[in-house]
């Protein structure tokens, strides 16, 4: 299967080495005026070859799936950063609801095929960006923007590599989500006499789950109405069971989806499903997060956009977190980025949008609300929560692995098979059929 993502102690080391050149870069950036506050920045620095910001008019249509109570204010923070410089441009928020972009991505495809792109759209680094948009010739490179803004020096190489094709860079990463979070309601857990330490094994979870079951509380709040939730819970369970090295081997074609270790992970996933809320097919991901907030569910396996919900609902103090059982030491990358469409209707405004969202200031405003950490490593860490600092530390030292559920690890076809097969598995729990479907999909991709 293409798109092998290197396990990443090496890559991380490279990225860290890269970060040490940050001081130099910042000096250069400062010389260019880049470290000045956003407001009025480009008007005076002469950095941009584009029109004087204040002169820009027209519209800017931004396409995403950020509509949940936590996602929407984070998107708004990016809009605010843009409007602070480009007040004359009318922002059109073309977000299509549906967690993980299930509905949005279909709408976007129709628009792109009909030659009716928005001015920029949200996607994920890796396969999703390359296979759905770059190879299909829907996106223009923005390599010159990376050069003029000095971004290659402040964005880790792991991320740069996954927006680069044939030496051209194609998207601006705004935030790095950690996909393998396991969130819990502190009071519910304490009331049940359960202790959660810095890590949780699968056995620990099942033991706690029995305690919750006896009390009539779903141990695992699940919102499988959003199609990404089942596959994401499975990929986290798989990672926790086989570890990051074997996980990466699956996508490099070096380990089969019918390996016994994979089948065992499927069996564990099936067992976890014995502890979920019965209304999960009718519940969205944020609905399931809400169950935990309300104390009607103990744990939720979710990328840290869940943290954005806790921020929006002002309940961060009541919530604890660990890695999804067994997956400590690994960081599932779910990296949100924005593109420049070929034939963007408002190309100049679109380029300015990408420039703004790539700044330190915009990323410092957006990520505290979104739950992700900035794609830039030169941010002021004191502006971030304890959770964010924990995630930054994990990003710096842990094995980085790509998410299948969010389109980074494998082709769109493989992802779709994973979605369909997981949906079936949640109902029939047939390990052999699940495994076979993924073996077939991997073979077609090879």
Binding track over 67-96 against ligand GAL, x by CB under 6 A: ----x-------------------------
- Of all residues in the shown chain, the one whose CB is closest to ligand GAL is 99
Q: Is 357:159 a contact under the CB 8 Å cutoff? A: no
Q: In whole angstroms, what is the distance from residue 28 CA to residue 343 CA?
A: 32
307: closest CA among 384, 370, 366?
A: 370
Q: How far is CA 161 from CA 26, 146, 205, 404, in A?
A: 21, 13, 36, 17
Q: Which tokens is 31 given? A: 């010389």
Least Å from the CB of residue 390 to ligand GAL? 18
User: Interaction with ligand GAL in 340-369: which residues (CB under 6 A)?
Assistant: none
Q: Which is nearer to ligand GAL, 19 or 370 (CB)?
A: 370
Rg (CA), the chain: 21
Site string for ligand GAL, 399-418 (x = CB under 6 A): -------x------------
Nearest to 142 by CA among 174, 113, 165: 165
Distance (Å) of CA 170 to CA 338, 357, 374: 9, 14, 18
Q: Residue 222: which of 211, 207, 237, 204 has the closest Cα? A: 237
The yes or no reply on residue 177 touching ligand GAL (CB under 6 A) is yes
- Residues 24-63: x where in contact with ligand GAL by CB under 6 A, - otherwise, as a string: ----------------------------------------
The piece of 99-107, 274-282, 341-349, 383-391 that touches ligand GAL (CB under 6 A) is 99-107
Q: Least distance from C-beta 232 to ligand GAL, angstroms?
A: 9
Strand order in the sheet with 181-185: 299-302, 181-185, 319-323
Interaction of residue 66 with ligand GAL, rule CB under 6 A: yes
Strand partners, 188: none
Which residue in 7, 53, 99, 341 binds ligand GAL (CB under 6 A)? Answer: 99
- Residue of the chain from 63, 121, 183, 305 that contacts ligand GAL (CB under 6 A): 305
Residue listed under structure tokens 């396996």? 301
- Is 100 near ligand GAL (CB under 6 A)? yes
Q: Point out which residues bind ligand GAL (CB under 6 A).
A: 65-66, 71, 99-101, 177, 285, 305, 334, 336, 406
């Amino acid at each position: 299967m293409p798109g092998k993502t290197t396990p990443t102690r090496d890559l991380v080391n490279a990225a860290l080495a890269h970060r040490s050149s940050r001081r130099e870069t910042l000096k250069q950036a400062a010389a260019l005026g880049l470290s000045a506050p956003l407001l009025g920045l480009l008007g005076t620095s002469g950095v941009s070859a584009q029109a004087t910001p204040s002169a820009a008019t027209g519209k800017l249509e931004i396409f995403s799936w950020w509509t949940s109570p936590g996602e929407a204010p984070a998107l708004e923070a990016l809009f605010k950063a843009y409007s602070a410089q480009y007040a004359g441009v009318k922002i059109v928020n073309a977000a299509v609801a549906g967690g993980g972009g299930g509905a949005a991505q279909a709408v976007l495809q129709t628009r792109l095929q009909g030659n009716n792109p928005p001015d920029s759209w949200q996607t994920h680094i890796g396969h999703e960006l390359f296979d759905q948009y770059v190879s299909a010739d829907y996106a223009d490179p923005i390599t010159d923007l990376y050069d003029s803004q000095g971004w290659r020096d402040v964005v880790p190489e792991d991320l740069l590599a996954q927006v680069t094709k044939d030496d051209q860079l194609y998207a601006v990463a705004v935030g790095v989500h950690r996909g393998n979070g396991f969130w819990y309601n502190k009071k519910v857990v304490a009331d049940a006499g359960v202790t959660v330490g810095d890590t949780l094994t699968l056995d620990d979870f099942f033991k706690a789950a029995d305690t919750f079951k006896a009390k009539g509380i779903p141990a695992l709040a699940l919102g499988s109405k959003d199609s990404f939730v089942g596959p994401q819970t499975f990929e986290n369970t798989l990672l926790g069971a086989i570890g990051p090295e074997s996980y990466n081997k699956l996508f490099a074609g070096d380990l089969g989806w019918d390996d016994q270790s994979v089948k065992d992970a499927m069996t564990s996933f099936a067992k976890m499903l014995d502890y979920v809320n019965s209304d999960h097919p009718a519940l969205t991901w944020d609905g399931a997060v809400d169950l935990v907030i309300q104390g009607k569910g103990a744990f939720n396996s979710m990328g840290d956009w869940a943290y954005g919900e806790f921020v929006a609902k002002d309940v961060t103090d009541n919530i604890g977190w660990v890695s999804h059982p067994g997956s400590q030491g690994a960081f599932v990358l779910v990296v949100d980025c924005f593109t420049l469409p070929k034939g963007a209707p408002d190309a100049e405004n679109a380029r300015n949008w990408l420039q703004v969202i790539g700044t330190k200031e915009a990323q410092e405003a957006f990520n505290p609300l979104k739950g992700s950490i900035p794609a830039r490593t030169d941010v002021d860490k004191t502006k971030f929560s304890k959770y964010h600092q924990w995630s930054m530390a994990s990003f710096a030292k842990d094995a980085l692995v790509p998410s299948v559920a969010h389109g980074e690890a494998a082709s769109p076809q493989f992802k779709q098979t994973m979605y369909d097969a997981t949906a079936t598995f949640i109902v029939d729990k047939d390990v052999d059929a699940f495994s076979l479907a993924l073996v077939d999909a991997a073979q077609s991709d090879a």
